[in-house]
Amino acid sequence: MEFYQVYKPSKSVLITDLDNTLYDWFEIWYSSFNAMLERVVEISGISKEQLIKEIRPVHREHGTAEYAFVLEKLPSLQKKYGSRQRINDELSEAIHAYRSERMTHLKLYKGVYDTLAELKSRRVRVIAYTESKEWYTKNRLKRLGLDYFIEILYSPSDHSVPIEEEQRTEITFDFMKSKHTPEGELKPNPRLLLDIIKEIGATPEECVYVGDSEMKDVEMALQAGVTAVFAKYGTGHFEGDDRRYELLQAVTHWTDADVEREQEIKRNSKHLKPDYTIDRFDQLLEIINFRKKKA
């Protein structure tokens, strides 16, 4: 924890990243995806190497490593089982393993729920801004019970799905609104962050932004004139077991252009330091005087 202060700036809006800031996205993804992959290998007899080789193009096509219909798209499984229905029937245990592990590991970081509840009681506005696709993000927020605390979710629109829209599980909220970020606009984008702030009727001075990426979250916030908090606790998910990260790399949806963009971000980074660094989400309450905006 890197803050020692008496003065606490007053803020009425919290803009928060989601993945690896409110919950451990990588742990959720790896545990569920790897469990599914292992069961598919056992059931089908097709090697993990072959499956991985076929998975990556599917993820690239749909712009996410969370594509829910990935098994139906794999040539090896299509050749072995034929129809979508039979693939799902024959590999139902693998699909169940995925869902079971996802539910087991879908947990908020310590202190997140109570902190958001406290902000709600103070009538502080909470805005979520993520690069993860809308449906997967809304599904997580619904299951975690966060829709009561978050006023608006900003996320990219969804990819197409191989089922009729009316057949897809609809995720509705009583309190939270959902809006799409512009197509192709990604972090770090100070202009987009300022557009969000303007759209909600706030000013940069009223806001504080928290996220786990120093280059994408912290620098973006600082360049937009927003108080920036670095969620350091969200950066340790690759430590201790390189094989876990290697699996994500092997099936990632990132294209060569995406990789080059990331490298360019690193090259152009100004290495700006966050205003604050926290080791737990609830430390936000120690460094910021959150309160409702005065009329």
DSSP states along the chain: -----S---EESEEEE--BTTTB-HHHHHHHHHHHHHHHHHHHH---HHHHHHHHHHHHHHHT-TT-TTGGGG-HHHHHHH-SHHHHHHHTHHHHHHHHHHHHHH--BPTTHHHHHHHHHHTT-EEEEE-SS-HHHHHHHHHHHT-TTT-SEEEEPPPPP-SS-GGGSPP---SS-EEEEPPTT--SS-HHHHHHHHHHTT--GGGEEEEES-IIIIIHHHHHTT-EEEEEGGGG-TTTT-HHHHHHHHHH----HHHHHHHHHHHHH---PPPSEEESSGGGHHHH-EE-PPP-
| More confident site: 3 or 276 | 276
pLDDT at 233 over 50: yes
| Cα–Cα distance for residue pair 178/170, rounded to 1 Å | 13
Q: Mean pLDDT lowest for which of 121-135, 158-172, 223-237?
A: 158-172
| Cα–Cα distance for residue pair 218/228, rounded to 1 Å | 5
Q: For helices 25-44 and 48-62, give the axis angle rounded to 10 degrees.
A: 130
pLDDT at 237 over 90: no
Given this model, what pLDDT does residue 86 score?
Answer: 97
pLDDT at 163 over 50: no
pLDDT at 150 over 60: yes
Given this model, what pLDDT does residue 238 score?
Answer: 64
Is 152 within 8 Å of 177 (Cβ atoms)? yes
Given this model, what pLDDT does residue 161 score?
Answer: 54
pLDDT digits (tens, 9 = 90+) for 103-143: 999 999 999 999 999 999 999 999 999 999 998 999 999 99
| Cα–Cα distance for residue pair 236/212, rounded to 1 Å | 10
Give me the residues paired with residue 154 across strands: 129, 179
pLDDT digits (tens, 9 = 90+) for 10-40: 999 999 999 999 999 999 999 999 999 999 9
Given this model, what pLDDT does residue 201 score?
Answer: 98
Query: What is the arithmetic mean of pLDDT over 96-100?
Result: 98
Given this model, what pLDDT does residue 245 score?
Answer: 84
pLDDT at 213 over 70: yes
CB atoms within 10 A of CB 23: 21
Query: What is the arithmetic mean of pLDDT over 45-61?
Result: 96
pLDDT at 166 over 50: no
pLDDT at 145 over 90: yes
Given this model, what pLDDT does residue 43 score?
Answer: 98
Pick the CATH number of 10-24+109-239+252-290 from 1.10.3720.10, 1.10.1060.10, 2.40.110.20, 3.40.50.1000: 3.40.50.1000
